[in-house]
Amino acid sequence: MPNKNLKVLVGVVALVLIAGLAVFMKPPIGYNQGYQPTQPIPYDHSLHAGKLEIPCQYCHSNASYARHSSVPALNICMNCHNQVKTQSEHIKKLADHYNEGKSIQWQKVHLLPDFVHFNHQRHVRRGVACQTCHGPIETMKEVFQYSDLSMGWCVNCHRKPENNAPVSCSTCHY
């Protein structure tokens, strides 16, 4: 009898440990919030968008007229880096890629599932600030995913009376 109780006890302890481990090993927060991939070149938003105050849309010009807000092509960088910091190893890499007609393989930070329809233009034209969704990018040395991008996050904002935005399923799902 005591032997059987011991087995049950060991079983329970093992279950608790496994459950604990599962919680511990899951990505810290749901939906990749906080995701911060390492980029091939240490491009710094806190320097360019913060200190130098280059407007977001100087580089992300698509945001106000397209679904995607695209990452800038290298000719935009070379507007300045033709002259600026040309001796830096990172800028040399940038210039080499540019001269060879190659692009830099930036790692995507934000990624919605394919079955969700999102559109920058609609939001940006309505005056929703980039920072409302992306956080204080102009202070980030490396970009991370600030909002959780969950369905609840989208719908809660659409539901706010002042937004008057649609919440039917087909708004966001094909």
- Enumerate residues 112-171 that contact ligand HEC by CB under 6 A: 112-113, 116-120, 122-124, 126, 128, 130, 132-134, 137-138, 143, 149-151, 153-155, 157-158, 163, 165-167, 169, 171
10 vs 100, beta carbon nearer ligand HEC:
100
Query: How many angstroms separate the CA atoms of 99 and 82, rounded?
Result: 11
Fill in the DSSP letter of residue 173.
Answer: B
CB of 13 to ligand HEC, least distance (A): 32
Q: Where in 28-87 is the site for ligand HEC (CB under 6 A)? A: 39, 41-43, 45, 47-49, 52, 54, 56-60, 63, 68-72, 76-77, 79-81, 84-85
Cβ atoms 45, 55 nearer than 8 A: no
Candidates 74, 72, 71; CA nearest to 99 is 74
The residue behind tokens 């011991």 is: 6
27 vs 166, beta carbon nearer ligand HEC:
166
CB of 36 to ligand HEC, least distance (A): 9
CB of 18 to ligand HEC, least distance (A): 23
Query: How many angstroms separate the CA atoms of 26 and 155, rounded?
Result: 25
11 vs 42, beta carbon nearer ligand HEC:
42
Cα 113 versus chain centre, distance = 13
Query: How many angstroms separate the CA atoms of 31 and 36, rounded?
Result: 13
33 vs 41, beta carbon nearer ligand HEC:
41
2 vs 55, beta carbon nearer ligand HEC:
55
Residues in Cβ contact with 65 at an 8 Å cutoff, skipping those fewer than 6 apart: 121
Q: According to the binding rule CB under 6 A, does residue 95 interact with ligand HEC?
A: no
- The tokens describing 61, both together, are 């010009």
